[in-house]
Amino acid sequence: MENQPQRTDGVVVSAQGLIKQYGKFTAVNDVSFEIHSGEIFGLLGPNGAGKSTIIEILEGIRKPTQGTAQVLGYNVSQKSAKIHELIGVQLQSTTFFEELTSLEILQLFSSFYPNGRNPRKMLQEVFLEDKAGTFPQNLSGGQRQRLALAAALINDPALLFLDEPTTGLDPQSRHMLWGIIEDTRAKGKSVLLTTHFMDEAQKLCDRIAIIDQGKIIALDTPARLIASLNIAASITAEFRCDSSDTIQLYKLQAIPETVQAQKTGFSITLQTKNTRAAFSGLLEYADEIGAVIENAIVQSPTLEDVFLSLTGHALRD
């Protein structure tokens, strides 16, 4: 069969030592990972971490400076034409021809593939059947993203690439898009997505590679990444006192069972191995400096905490 993925023993993407340099700037610095058949794999990291460059190398539309990658068993730098028949792609902020309607755009994309699917059915799948005659510039941001997803799914791809699929979307559109992505996995497809949203990565992804400054700094399932932090909770609270200078960071760090403490003005964050010990420590310290604690929030640790503990800076700096 010509138009089938190569036999790859359950590995749909294999990146080995990818490096991409723009002049002296290294956007991607020695990145290697594998994606298994049927999983949603996430590249998580802040803007400018190199996520888009990695995904575009794997899509065969950008050449790596060094390193190789196999996608569905084909080498990206040699067989990109073959790969393009088998993959579905949604770019970060996809733009379409302004003079073609939604339906005409999907008809055009469908014609590119030997197994192109019915454009009207695709519109139904992304809940845009009533927008068939609408030009893309008259669609809302969420509708445009769904149209882009329909174009990405039109060849029934074995592997779907999604670059920041929900950036700039309202919550309703995000959930709708998440549903479509989960349905795709349910059909046995593999998905590679990039995101800078912790909740999105945590909810959707089977495995995550955390990227910072062009490097993978951690790679595992969301649950194991969080478990590796070895903390019970993250506590956020506000101190009410005369001056924020009276709050001493080293005193917070000295509270028993504390993993990491942070202070921003009157607001403090404590990552702790023991929620009870942290709270009694905080209350004692508040009494000591004559402050009152307000708006205390206890959260289970998230990927945000993982990123913070790995890099020392927050994800959305």
Instruction: By CB under 8 A, name the binding residues for other proteins.
Output: 22, 59-62, 81, 84-85, 87, 89, 91, 93-97, 99-100, 104, 107-113, 116, 151, 161
Alpha helices in 135-274 (DSSP H): 141-153, 171-186, 198-204, 222-227, 249-253
**How far is residue 160's CA from residue 72's CA, in Å, rounded to a whole number?**
11
- Shortest Å, Cβ 111 to other proteins: 3
- Shortest Å, Cβ 271 to other proteins: 40
Contacts (Cβ under 8 Å, ≥6 apart) of 59 = 83, 87, 89, 161
- Shortest Å, Cβ 70 to other proteins: 17
Contacts (Cβ under 8 Å, ≥6 apart) of 47 = 196
11 or 108: CB nearest other proteins: 108
DSSP secondary structure string for all residues of 261-272: EEEETTEEEEEE
22 or 254: CB nearest other proteins: 22
59 or 305: CB nearest other proteins: 59
115 or 221: CB nearest other proteins: 115
97 or 228: CB nearest other proteins: 97
161 or 307: CB nearest other proteins: 161
What DSSP character marks residue 224? H
Query: First vs last Cα of the chain: how many Å apart?
Result: 49
Opening angle at CA 47, ends 31 and 80, nearest 5: 45
Provide the residue type at 206 as one letter.
Answer: D
Read off φ and ψ for residue 75, nearest 5 degrees.
-75, 125
83 or 255: CB nearest other proteins: 83
107 or 134: CB nearest other proteins: 107
- Shortest Å, Cβ 124 to other proteins: 20
User: Which token pair is 197?
Assistant: 């949203």
Neighbours of 232 (CB within 10 A): 19
Site of tokens 């402050």: 291
- Shortest Å, Cβ 109 to other proteins: 7
- Shortest Å, Cβ 24 to other proteins: 15
- Shortest Å, Cβ 88 to other proteins: 9
Using the CB atoms, write b or e for 245-280: b if 16+ within 10 Å: eebeeeebeebebbbbbbbeebebbbbbebbeebbe
- Shortest Å, Cβ 157 to other proteins: 11
Read off φ and ψ for residue 115, nearest 5 degrees.
-110, 30
